[in-house]
Amino acid sequence: MYKILEKKEVAMRNVWYKVHAPHVARKVQPGQFVIVRAFKNGERIPLTPIMWDREEGWITLMTFIRGKTTMRMANELKVGDELLNVAGPLGNPAEMKKLGRVLAIGAYTGIVEVYPIARAWQEIGNDVTTLHVTFEPMVVMKEDFEKAVGRHIVEPVPMDMTKDMRENMKNVTKRLTEKVRELLETEHFDFVFMVGPTGDQKAVFQVVKEFGIPMEADLHPIMVDGTGMCGSCRVTVGGEVKFACIDGPGFDAYKVAWDELIARTGYYTDMEMLAMQEYMK
Ligand code: FES
């Protein structure tokens, strides 16, 4: 059913899949996601359809290799294999409305989730600037963005192999916040949107807040079922408990309890590292 029609590593640790999933392709809207189960007894991972063809019945997905499941998918799945399950489309579509001049930001692989939304906003008459900040070898979809939106800015950050990943990631956050500040200081924007690691979303929000510009963030808490049943994706927004899978994934950045979300998102990091190390043995 969910046959892999094409697969390629498009940039360092970024693997692109074209998957036959007609029920998703028929209904999916920008901003929605699917939950993929690739292997028997494997974990369920939320991924965002980037492009789709409603008639041919395919969607495209991108994984960033960051844990055991995404590594297994990259290593073990080949064209012609089938994913066990692709559930969706899930979550709420992004609101399609006149926003004016929009700055849509993606950090790392978060940029691929920005794509369907930014393209649709541009198509309905908004003037969309997209900004992608990531490590140099991880730049993806540059030409796709250049065709789809008013202006696409890429800020590649070199990787310093003498430093550990955490130090390198600090450089991405620094470049991200500096570039956002520069853009907001020199140009007028009516709305900011962002997808990326929660810590970077918070860092960008703190800059945007100084300018008083409305901002929405697509949140990525841990998800399991994607249907509001398990509670793992709960976030506090405006003092109320929300489930990112059914109430989001897009939320008003001014109302998100960022520190709580960052703490919850990092809860399983050690276990994820351990699982990946075991797999790599
Ligand atoms: Fe289970 Fe949202 S993923 S409630």
Residues 177-193: tens digit of each pLDDT: 999 999 999 999 999 99
- Pocket flag, ligand 1, residue 245 (CB < 6 Å): yes
Question: Does residue 112 share a domain with residue 63?
Answer: no
- Residue 281 belongs to a domain: no
> Both 60 and 132 in a single domain?
no
Give how far the C-alpha of residue 137 lies from the chain's centroid of Cα atoms, to the nearest Å: 18
* CB-based contacts of 5, cutoff 8 Å, min separation 6: 18, 19, 20, 58, 79
Residues 113, 82 share a domain = no
Report the alpha-carbon distance of residue 158 to residue 141 in Å, rounded: 18
**Cβ 276 under 6 angstroms from ligand 1:** no
**Which of 68, 54, 173, 64 shows the shortest CA–CA distance to 112?**
64
Q: Is 74 in the pocket of ligand 1 (CB under 6 A)?
A: no
Q: What is the pLDDT of residues 80-114, one digit of tens each?
A: 999 999 999 999 999 999 999 999 999 999 999 99
| 270 inside domain | no
CATH of the domain at 60: 2.40.30.10
Buried b (16+ CB within 10 A) or exposed e, 129-158: bbbbbbbeebbbbeebbeebbeebebbebe
ipTM associated with this complex: 0.98
Residue 275, domain member (yes or no): no
69 contact partners, CB below 8 Å, separation of at least 6:
38, 39, 42, 43, 45
Two tokens at 208? 């945007």
Query: Is the separation of the CB atoms in 101 and 122 below 8 Å?
Result: no
Tokens representing 135 are 């490590």
pLDDT of residue 155: 96
Q: Distance from the CA of 68 to the center of ligand 1, in angstroms?
A: 21
Question: Which residue's CA is minimally distant from atom 4 of ligand 1?
Answer: 228
Helix, strand and coil percent figures for the chain, each rounded to 5: 35, 30, 35
CATH number at residue 173: 3.40.50.80
* 212/74 same-domain check: no
For residues 128 and 211, membership in a common domain is answered with yes
- How many angstroms separate the CA atoms of 60 and 5, rounded? 10
Residues of the chain with pLDDT under 50: none
Using the atom order of ligand 1, give the atom closest to the CA of residue 244: 2
CA 229–ligand 1 middle distance (angstroms) = 6
Domain that holds residue 256: 101-265
Binding site residues for [2Fe-2S] cluster, as ranges? 230, 233, 245
Token reading at 101:
């001049």
Provide the annotated binding site.
230, 233, 245
Shared domain for 62 and 154, answered yes or no, is: no
Same domain, residue pair 52 and 186: no
Token representation of residue 50: 């980037």
Strands 240-243 and 191-195: unpaired
- Nearest residue to 260 (alpha-carbon basis) of 227, 241, 236: 236
Q: Are 44 and 110 members of one domain?
A: no
Q: How far is CA 147 from CA 127, 143, 254, in A?
A: 13, 6, 31
Residue of 44, 90, 224, 265 with the most ligand 1 atoms within 8 Å of its CB, for mutation: 224
Q: Please give the single-letter amino acid code of residue 141.
A: M
Nearest protein Cα to ligand 1, atom 1? 230
Instruction: Give the pLDDT of residue 23.
Output: 97
Is position 276 within any domain? Answer: no
222 lines ligand 1 (CB under 6 A): no
85 and 215: one domain? no
Which amino acid is located at 184 in the chain? Answer: L
In angstroms and rounded to an integer, the radius of gyration of the C-alpha atoms of the chain is 18
The pLDDT assigned to 267 comes to 66
Can you give the pLDDT at residue 199?
95
228 lines ligand 1 (CB under 6 A): yes
